[in-house]
Structure 1
């Protein structure tokens, strides 16, 4: 195996939140990183990639020959692209085709989610897109590895309607003891960097920085704040499904990947247990400094 300083990884999505963190994680490992960015990407965004240790490579993603040339000599393509069908299927599909044409041996698709292989088709738009791309990448002559990490633990601090500080309640649907998988974006990025450098990585790797139920979260917040927190049951999964249908029908059409009703679909897949990750592969690369939910929530108290 060649020295890591001479190894080359290509990354699509480097200007995004998680993508930028993956750039930093790969840079810490001394990897030569080509950060593929679209033609016309602002200079400030490219400078941010350089500051993290990546080399921006501007390319027209619609130009198959140019994209293939940009991937020459790369050992793994990592996709951290985020969006709907035009991104997850079309743009990422062009990236996959170019990787195959360039002879790249490995590909990491932009999955980074709960276990969509176990969820029901039609229940979650974003998981359906991942399932469709899975069929495409599995038919391609390239070795793929998907990283599944549950929900981003960072969302517990306010973006996800679970921890409600104003009311000192943990909002849940269904079973108060259903375990949820949470992983911080930094831990996902760190693990992704190891996967990108692992030629023996399997088709799926499942990780969780912490696994907690709604009851566990209420107990944690009680301990952190010194005041009683309680789980609050908003209803069963049937009621949640009804609310999702209503919210989706009343919502304006949008290209945003996470409108409110999509977040509700994600919560349903977690609350039902269908998206639960098992078994976990946390130990594969010797990582021991996983960020627990307590470390995420403590600064909010």
Structure 2
């Protein structure tokens, strides 16, 4: 079984070394039509990498247009699905040496699909795999703490015997999720809600910066184990203050209860539904506000060419102003 490891902080790569990193090896990306996957592909192409992406047959609309734009920059597309038979998926991976998964979905994709992708990568002769982890510190959590992270941990256990070098990229919470999916910010009511200690530090990174770090890891032949990156480390009190500065709006910081009360609310919601997506946002919040999923250190210094943007700058562009 593959265990999650804490990678030590190496000396890092200089700008000069980064610019000379090999781009001769082909990188295969699954999930390229998603927001993160598409930006990973774009960053890899920016670095001159040879990139092949898996696309489901019949993809159209905005996703097709985005892929067409990436094709114009050198992206190679192959049709298929990560649930295809291993032999067919291995043929799609072809001569790629690194396989990146940026897929999202339920356990059929995150567990079964990713295990299938690993087996296909092995058969194709790939050497490295970057799974769709992209989250808070899943190495410090238990499977039951968060259903979606539990799926990722189960996938890692299922392909734990792989011959591939598995490199996990963790980014904390996405800025986009913190001001959206989490339900923490109610712009209409003018409130920022939180559970637990408002001064607990939280790791956060934007989607574009996560993609840039992922591309850097994929192109780094020395990258191993679990890599942790953060655009900002802010408490909920600082998060609230940042939103006020960025928007020029007065927002009320609203305490919803203790971490124990949050856990009780999760238990109540989980008992009332068969759909884990109705309470997984609360699970993410519990993992963060308790400090259980806090990074012990970050690896930003390994890739100084990636300069993550601040939450304040992100909110200035994304949020409604006063």
Q: TM-score, normalised by structure 2?
A: 0.85
Distance of 2:238 and 2:309 partners within structure 1: 16
Indicate whether 1:137 and 2:128 are aligned.
no
Distance of 2:217 and 2:79 partners within structure 1: 25
After TM superposition, give the deviation of residue 264 of structure 1 in Å: 0.7
1:10 equivalent in structure 2: 28
Distance of 2:285 and 2:220 partners within structure 1: 32
Q: Which runs of no fewer than 5 residues in structure 2 stay unpaired?
A: 1-16
Q: TM-score, normalised by structure 1?
A: 0.91
Runs of at least 4 residues of structure 1 off by over 4 A? 1-5, 225-228
Alignment size in residue pairs: 297
Indicate whether 1:234 and 2:264 are aligned.
no
Structure scoring higher RCO (CA < 8 A, sep ≥ 6) equals: 2
Indicate whether 1:66 and 2:88 are aligned.
yes
Distance of 1:70 and 1:227 partners within structure 2: 50
Indicate whether 1:272 and 2:290 are aligned.
yes
Distance of 2:240 and 2:147 partners within structure 1: 30
Q: 1:199 aligns with which of 221, 225, 235?
A: 221
After TM superposition, the structure 1 = structure 2 runs for residues 114-263 of structure 1, keeping only pairs within 5 Å, are 114-226=136-248, 228-251=250-273, 253-254=274-275, 259-263=277-281
Indicate whether 1:25 and 2:43 are aligned.
yes
Indicate whether 1:112 and 2:134 are aligned.
yes
After TM superposition, give the deviation of residue 41 of structure 1 in Å: 3.4
Over the residues paired in the alignment, what is the CA RMSD in angstroms? 2.2
Q: Which runs of no fewer than 5 residues in structure 1 stay unpaired?
A: none
After TM superposition, give the deviation of residue 198 of structure 1 in Å: 1.3
Tell whether the 8 Å contact from 2:262 to 2:286 is kept in structure 1 after alignment: yes
Tell whether the 8 Å contact from 2:55 to 2:77 is kept in structure 1 after alignment: yes
Distance of 2:128 and 2:107 partners within structure 1: 22
Tell whether the 8 Å contact from 1:15 to 1:45 is kept in structure 2 after alignment: yes
